[in-house]
Amino acid sequence: MIINFGSKKYDYSKPEDEVVKFVEMLRKHQAGRILDLGCGNGRHTEYLSGLGFEVFGIDINLDSRLQTDEKYLVADMRYLPFNEDFFDSVIANQVIYHGKRLDIENTINEMYRVLKHEGIFFATLQPREGQEWRLGKKLEEWTYVASAGPDKGDVHHYVDETEIYELFGEPNLVQVYRDRRDDWCVLGRLQKRHEKYTQRTIQKIIENVAMKAGIRKRITPHTLRHSFATHLLENGTDIRYIRDLLGHSDISTTLIYTKVSNKNIRNIKSPLDD
């Protein structure tokens, strides 16, 4: 299957050169179970299965001819239907840039969730430069609806090297380079255990959970802290204990922070009612 992409042509019936090269890393790290994220027509799933790996392929728009094969699943890459630490490796070729920045962050979080500690991964992303011919409607910074090409109408987020390090986390990266298409290629080995969560990681976890719960308003760690204190106050916890739990030195700060809810005001009983 030959696809025209601008002035270039690519054969989508064969595995990508970079995926073929990645096999050496798979064998070196004795990877057994692999997730082919956004498997498309199944070319990489079939290729790796033929080499003896246990491979699962998922795609939101899975080819109908693949849906009867048990190694393929229809799934959203932001909500993977697998347990934690299930895979030795994840391959995400030409897929995770389809969406806004938050979508990509959620997908990478899911990749990391299903990967084992020191599991290896390969991903490709599209560069910011050279995209002028296909930039359509702008949705956010460096996120556009493609106006041309085989994926016309799809949302694309374009990155530079700095953003790659922000998205994947420097400790997890082995190599970042450009392939023959001039796309970004990311090789990584996940450092999962005994690591402290950064402030940004905690923020992303909360955003991801809020999105799954269908909460549209912005939720932050401060929102949870505020809600925790307010619920304690509404349930009758002494304000002095709340002050200690929140780490405030001055109780006036706690009073401002928690805010007395309307529920508490309604529950106040007038002495005249006795």
Q: What is the pLDDT of residue 41?
A: 87
Do residues 91 and 46 touch, judged by C-beta distance below 8 A? no
Report the alpha-carbon distance of residue 13 to residue 3 in Å, rounded: 10
Q: What is the pLDDT of residue 3?
A: 47
Report the alpha-carbon distance of residue 82 to residue 198 in Å, rounded: 25
Q: What is the pLDDT of residue 133?
A: 79
Q: Tokens at residue 176, please?
A: 């970042």
Q: What is the pLDDT of residue 151?
A: 78
Q: What is the pLDDT of residue 61?
A: 86
Q: Model confidence over 227-274: pLDDT tens digits?
A: 888 888 888 888 888 888 888 777 777 776 555 555 555 565 555 666
Q: What is the pLDDT of residue 24?
A: 96
How far, CA to CA in Å, does 221 sit from each of 107, 205, 227? 21, 10, 10
The stretches in the chain having pLDDT less than 50 are: 2-5
Q: Which of 13, 1, 9 is nearest to 43 (CA)?
A: 13
Q: What is the pLDDT of residue 268?
A: 55
Give the residue carrying structure tokens 């347990």. Answer: 83
Domain architecture of the chain: domains with CATH: 2-195 (3.40.50.150), 221-266 (no CATH)
Q: What is the pLDDT of residue 259?
A: 59
CA 94-98-100 angle, 5° bins: 145
